[in-house]
Structure 1
Amino acid sequence: MKRSEINNIIEYTIKKAKKLKFPLPPFAYYTPDDWRNLKEDQRELVDNMLGWDVTDFGKNDFEHIGLTIFTFRNGNFNKKNKYPKPYCEKLLFVREGQILPFHFHWYKMEYVINRGGGTLKITLYNSNENEDFNDTDVEVPIDGKIIKIKAGEEVFLEPGQSVTLSSGQYHQWQGVPGTGDIALFEVSTTNDDRVDNRFYEVKSRLPEVEEDEVAKYLMFNDYDKYVRF
């Protein structure tokens, strides 16, 4: 992805969050210089991958296949004594019509809430021992009610609704065309997107960035290049 595209995507999401009245914390607006001057007392931002994340999953077609993420808080798989939080909270911003490709998590269980905007369509499969699609029925809780569907069928989340996705459960979602952008919130167990995503086809979760202009905001995968404690 080009840095100019990433800059524009983050600015677009900030404007949409303001319009939807979802306040973001101060570090959402940090410049590269702010990150360069980060002090030890904010090490948690870096260690736990808090902040922005943008991906097109290596497809170079963000408008159709992609996701914008802001992580508010998170635990840490590798530093549990230092960061004992057992949970993670994110904003997952889905553009109208945009697809998140099929994947599951080996460890994470996630609770996804449609906080406002359009309708989210989620397609579900169980995984089998070979990490392929299983043809078994899928059970998924939506707003506290267990819904049972056939493999590969869909459920829909309107604003205010929520779904619990278990580890090992393949899911793909799309913002239903014609209904608008969607602000999803994810509350999950501790998350590490570098090691806990099993995509069915996509090979690239974290984008390679072409630095065609100066970064206005950083993604968590940029921190190592800027932050020196």
Structure 2
Amino acid sequence: MKRSDINRIIREGEAFMRSHGYVLPPFSRMSPVEMTERRQEIANITGAGLGWDITDFGLGDFEKTGLFLFTTRNGRIEDLKQGRGMLYAEKAMISRKDQLTPMHKHVFKTEDIINRGGGTLVLELFGDTDGICDRDKGTTVACDGILRTIAPGEKLSLVPGESVTLVPGDWHGFWAEGGDVFVAEVSTVNDDNTDNYFENPAVSRFSGIEEDEAPVHLLVSDYGPWLR
């Protein structure tokens, strides 16, 4: 992705979330220079992978296949292993109209996907067999606490206010219909480096960046090269 496109997407995304009454935390406004100067002070932020995350999943067409994310809080895997401490994570996301988040699963994370406003969020769901997306197998999920059996590939539509709980092994892809959707994710500890398994091996979690202009804000994937 071009850095200029990422900068534009960040501005548009923040404005969209504000239109739904959601304001990002103060560290979202830090410039790259400020983050560099305060890198020791903000080690908990960068170490937990909090912040901006714009991805085209390595496919080069954000409008068709992509997602806007901002991680607001996240614990550590070590916390979960000990069963104490910060065992949870939260993300604010934007799924654009007809923009696909590709079919994937997690082997560790359980997550609630919540439609906070906008259009309809549509999920396609499959079960898992021996670690592979089984397109002949469905699953059972909780939608706002009510169990629902989903046939293989059945489309689950969430209007504003509705949510679904996905457990490890639930294969899912999603997109917005009728308009962009402000999505919230509340989950157990999130590890985007190791806990995303995509059905299509050509898909990657993070995007390469063409530096055609200076970044307005650093992405989570920038922290290593910019702040080490």
- Equivalent position of 1:42 in the other structure: 42
- Equivalent position of 2:174 in the other structure: 173
Structure 1 CA distance, aligned partners of 2:150 and 2:77? 33
Alignment size in residue pairs: 225
Structure 2 CA distance, aligned partners of 1:112 and 1:6? 24
- Equivalent position of 1:85 in the other structure: 86
**Cα deviations by residue, 1:20-49 (Å, 9 ceiling, x for unpaired):** 110111111111111111153321111000
Letter of the 1:74 partner, please give it: N
Structure 2 CA distance, aligned partners of 1:39 and 1:137? 46
- Equivalent position of 1:197 in the other structure: 196
Q: Secondary structure at the match of 1:28?
A: helix
Instruction: Report if aligned partners of 1:38, 1:227 keep a CA contact under 8 Å in 2.
Output: no
Shift of 1:64: 1.4
Instruction: Report if aligned partners of 1:87, 1:189 keep a CA contact under 8 Å in 2.
Output: yes
Structure 1: 4+ residue segments shifted above 4 A: 78-81
Instruction: Report if aligned partners of 1:73, 1:88 keep a CA contact under 8 Å in 2.
Output: yes
Instruction: Report if aligned partners of 1:37, 1:227 keep a CA contact under 8 Å in 2.
Output: no
When the two chains are superposed, the root-mean-square deviation of aligned CA atoms in Å is: 1.6
**Cα deviations by residue, 1:109-135 (Å, 9 ceiling, x for unpaired):** 000110011101100001111423152
- Equivalent position of 1:123 in the other structure: 124
- Equivalent position of 2:107 in the other structure: 106
Instruction: Report if aligned partners of 2:39, 2:227 keep a CA contact under 8 Å in 1.
Output: no
Shift of 1:162: 0.6
Instruction: Report if aligned partners of 1:111, 1:165 keep a CA contact under 8 Å in 2.
Output: yes
Is 1:207–2:207 an aligned residue pair? Answer: yes
- Equivalent position of 1:25 in the other structure: 25
Instruction: Report if aligned partners of 2:75, 2:89 keep a CA contact under 8 Å in 1.
Output: yes
Instruction: Report if aligned partners of 1:128, 1:134 keep a CA contact under 8 Å in 2.
Output: no
Letter of the 1:198 partner, please give it: Y
**By percentage of residues, which structure has more strand?**
2
- Equivalent position of 1:226 in the other structure: 226
Structure 1 CA distance, aligned partners of 2:164 and 2:99? 19
Which has the higher mean CA deviation after the structures are superposed, 102-111 or 32-41? 32-41
Give me the TM-score of the superposition, normalised by structure 2.
Answer: 0.94
Structure 2 CA distance, aligned partners of 1:65 and 1:203? 10
Instruction: Report if aligned partners of 1:108, 1:166 keep a CA contact under 8 Å in 2.
Output: yes
Give me the TM-score of the superposition, normalised by structure 1.
Answer: 0.93
**Structure 2 spans left out of the alignment, 5+ residues:** none
Structure 2 CA distance, aligned partners of 1:36 and 1:137? 47
Q: Secondary structure at the match of 1:12?
A: helix
Q: Secondary structure at the match of 2:129?
A: coil
Letter of the 1:47 partner, please give it: G
Structure 1 CA distance, aligned partners of 2:35 and 2:124? 38
Shift of 1:205: 1.2
Percent of counterpart pairs with the same letter?
39
Structure 2 CA distance, aligned partners of 1:163 and 1:212? 39
Shift of 1:227: 2.3
**Cα deviations by residue, 1:135-188 (Å, 9 ceiling, x for unpaired):** 233211111111112111111000000100111110010101xx2111110000
Which has the higher mean CA deviation after the structures are superposed, 134-143 or 3-12? 134-143
Letter of the 2:48 partner, please give it: N
**Structure 1 spans left out of the alignment, 5+ residues:** none
